[in-house]
Structure 1
Amino acid sequence: MSTVLVIGASRGIGLEFVRQYREAGDRVIATARDDAGLQRLRELGAEALRIDVAQPASISGLAWQLDGEKLDTALYVAGVFPRIDAGVPPTREAFDLAMHTNLLGAMQAIPQVAPLVEAANGCFGFISSAMAQIRGVPDGRGWLYRASKAALNMAVACAQHQYPRATLVALSPGWVQTDMGGAAAPLTADDSVSRMRATLARLTPAQRGAFIDQDGRPFDGW
């Protein structure tokens, strides 16, 4: 039985990770920021922790809640998508929410969680997006979101050097049918998470610090 941590698991892709890992017989520790999310996690048999990744004081308490754990797999799934396009300046509130949730929360989690992943020689995946690619950007849609996820990819690549006994990767889940992705997306959360779990299970040392698609293929020129 493996021990899995899912940060940002109250709905969508995060909740699906919890469901699938629990169905596989793994022990799952998962975080949510409100009572409803915590209840959904407990109903799936996860050990639920109250964490709001957008609040530095909240996520800074993660280390003591995980004291003594060895994590075979950790996932940072939390994310927001401000629908602000290029040419429209984001408000300070929108910028802060995107950067705190998509980037700062991950950067705070890494030094608390990565040593526990190293202890198990495990992997730490961060949900990014194909929209974070810099080469061949097709349009100006969601430029604040794109910028926050591109910065996340850099944070993962940098952090990998500090934790050589863990494998850190940024993962694009694809376009998924979630509250964020919408009903028109071609992938279900079930399909996306199944592919990402398979990819995480077969990571190699050569992929450390990389930005990869849900099926493990590397992104070109990111």
Structure 2
Amino acid sequence: MAHALIIGASRGIGAEFVRQYRAEGWQVTATARGDEALAALRAQGATAIALDVTSAESVSRLAWQLEGVSFDVIVNVAGVLKRQSGLEAPSDADFDHTMHANVLAPMRVLPQLVDKLAPGAKLALISSKMGSMGARNATSSWLYRASKAAANSVLKDISLEWAGKAVCVSFHPGWVRTDMGGAGADIGVEDSVAGMRRVIAGLAAQDNGRFLNYDGSEIPW
């Protein structure tokens, strides 16, 4: 049975990945922080693991909790958004929280998973088009933009390190109607995740290290 690991599955995009993979009969392991979210994951038949990606101590326990398991698909969803207008200087606390969650967390979590890759494995990091420099035409939420640009750099390095072991891509999930995206966003979470899952299923070696929209189209770094 195919096995997916969803990092950050308490709500929104992560929770929808769990729902859709489970609906197709996949075995799913998923992480969340709170007891309520963990219970909801277990109710869907997923193996639920408590993980706070901003805590070094919590992350340090992840590898041994996955001992003996390998994954066909790994999706790193966990992240935060601090909205800002213009070039408003972030506070130290907002900078640290955003960079810890969006950049330091995947730098800590993903290297632990290199021994958990099934043959032909695929890794997707949920990023954002807002992190693209080539496609950028606005400055709102520039702290978030900076963090996602840095997360894309992390994914690119992972793709080089894991070449031959996994196909690794960064995704813009679209502007999605979630708690983070807001009610006025363009697409529903079901369509976003369904699109990314289709792209993940079709990934091949030549796709390693790409930055993709949820529909598979290329996004410039």
The two structures have a TM-score, normalised by structure 2, of 0.96
Please report how far the alpha carbon of residue 99 of structure 1 lies from its aligned counterpart in structure 2 after TM superposition.
0.8
Distance in 2 of aligned mates of 1:9 and 1:182 = 18
Which secondary structure state, in structure 2, belongs to the residue aligned with residue 141 of structure 1?
coil
Q: 1:200 to 1:136 in 2, by over 3 A?
A: closer
Q: CA–CA distance in 1 between the matches of 2:87 and 2:23?
A: 45
How many residues of Structure 1 are paired with residues of Structure 2 in the alignment?
220
1:134 aligned partner: 133
**1:73 corresponding residue in structure 2:** 73
Map 1:8-87 to 2 at 5 A: 8-87=8-87
Equivalent residue number for residue 194 of structure 1: 194
Instruction: For residue 101 of structure 1, report the CA deviation from its aligned partner.
Output: 0.8
Contact 1:4 1:27 in 2 (8 A): yes
Distance 1:200 1:97 in 2: 29
- Which residue does 1:145 correspond to in 2? 144
Q: Is the 8 A contact 1:115 1:163 kept in 2?
A: no
Structure 1, unaligned runs of 5 or more: none
Deviation >3 Å, runs of 4+: none
Q: Which consecutive unaligned segments of at least 5 residues does structure 2 have?
A: none
Mapped contact 2:159–2:209 kept (Cα < 8 A): yes
Which deviations, in whole Å up to 9, do the C-alpha atoms of 1:117-153 show, x marking residues without a partner? 2x33200110000111102422210101011111111
The 8 Å contact of residues 85 and 144 in structure 1, kept in 2 or not, is answered as: no
Q: Which residue identity is paired with 2:152?
A: N
Q: Equivalent residue of 2:119, what SS? A: coil
Structure 1 counterpart of 2:170, which letter? A
Instruction: Give the C-alpha shift of residue 85 in structure 1.
Output: 3.4
Secondary structure of the residue that 1:19 maps to in structure 2?
helix
2:126 is matched by which residue type in structure 1? Answer: I
- How far apart in 2 are the matches of 1:146 and 1:206? 27
Residue matched to 1:156: 155
CA contact (8 A) 1:128 1:149 kept: yes
Residue 3 of structure 1: CA displacement? 0.6
TM-score, length basis structure 1: 0.96
CA RMSD after TM alignment: 1.1
Please state which structure has a larger fraction of its residues in strand.
Answer: 2
Shift of 1:63: 0.5
Q: 1:182 to 1:66 in 2, by over 3 A?
A: same
* SS of 1:101 mapped into structure 2: helix
CA–CA distance in structure 2, aligned partners of residues 173 and 203 of structure 1: 16
Alpha-carbon distance between aligned partners in 1 of 2:42 and 2:191, rounded to the nearest angstrom: 23
Select between 105-114 and 28-37 the one with higher mean Cα deviation.
105-114
Q: Which amino acid aligns with 1:166?
A: A
Take 1:55 and 1:214, find their aligned partners in 2: how far apart are those partners? Answer: 29
